[in-house]
Amino acid sequence: MIEPDVRESIWYDINNVLNMEPDKMPHYWGILLSKFQLIEDNNLRRICTSCNSTEQLDITKNKKAYCMKDKQHKISEETAFQSCNRIIDRVLEVLREPSNNCMDLFDLESWLFGKEEDDYFETMYYGDITKSQVKKMMFQVKKVMMEKLVELRDKIRFSATMRTPSIQVH
């Protein structure tokens, strides 16, 4: 008998959270990352670390990858989970305070949850950054997760797609 894939329920959980607005759930990103880590398959993929895109790559005959937006962009190989963490680390670094204090994800989520869209965060290198700008940067994490879910959708055996064996009446 064919068993359903154990990743199915996690896939649906992640998909449901991704469809929610981050402002509707405290610690949205931490919950999402925890669930995403459970489903990650550790497959390395090429990605432009400047654009956070796997789609804009041009692979040459000698298997060298370039970003089609800018040949100078750095291409690396990393898992989707590593990409998410890299993006979050970059956001946290951008938000480094003038006192040189750098938040962690928990602090960032707490700040985001209690602020209005036009509230701002004072940073060391980039001046004032609004909550809307932070959310736009964090959307890159959602983009990586959505790409991975689309990829996994074809690899997971969903119970709804499995055929039920016919019942034999004797």
Q: Say if CB 38 and CB 5 are below 8 A apart.
A: no
Residues of the domain holding 117: 8-43+79-157
pLDDT of 53: 79
C-alpha distances (whole Å) from 13 to each of 9, 32, 149 are 6, 9, 11
**Res. 165 pLDDT band, cuts 50 70 90:** low
Q: Where are the beta strands (DSSP E) in the chain?
A: 45-48, 57-59, 65-67, 75-78, 120-122, 128-130
Mean pLDDT, rounded, for 18-46: 90
Which one, of 158, 154, 155, lies nearest residue 4 by Cα? 158
**Who has greater pLDDT, 148 or 63?**
148
Q: Is residue 114 part of a domain?
A: yes
Tally the domains of the chain.
1
**Res. 61 pLDDT band, cuts 50 70 90:** low
Q: Say if CB 11 and CB 152 are below 8 A apart.
A: yes
Mean pLDDT, rounded, for 95-105: 95
Q: Is residue 150 part of a domain?
A: yes
**How much is the pTM?**
0.85
114-137 pLDDT, tens per residue? Answer: 888 889 999 999 999 999 999 999
Q: Where are the beta strands (DSSP E) in 4-89?
A: 45-48, 57-59, 65-67, 75-78
Q: Which two tokens stand for residue 29?
A: 């990103």
**Who has greater pLDDT, 29 or 114?**
29
57: helix, strand or coil = strand
pLDDT score of 155 more than 60: yes
> What backbone torsions phi and psi does residue 74 show, to the nearest 5 degrees?
-85, 130
Q: Is residue 72 part of a domain?
A: no
C-alpha distances (whole Å) from 20 to each of 10, 14, 15, 118, 144 are 16, 10, 9, 21, 16
Q: Is residue 20 part of a domain?
A: yes
Mean pLDDT, rounded, for 10-15: 94
Mean pLDDT, rounded, for 49-59: 81
Q: Is residue 68 part of a domain?
A: no
pLDDT score of 3 more than 90: no
Interatomic CA distance for residues 108 and 96, integer angstroms: 11
Q: Is residue 104 part of a domain?
A: yes
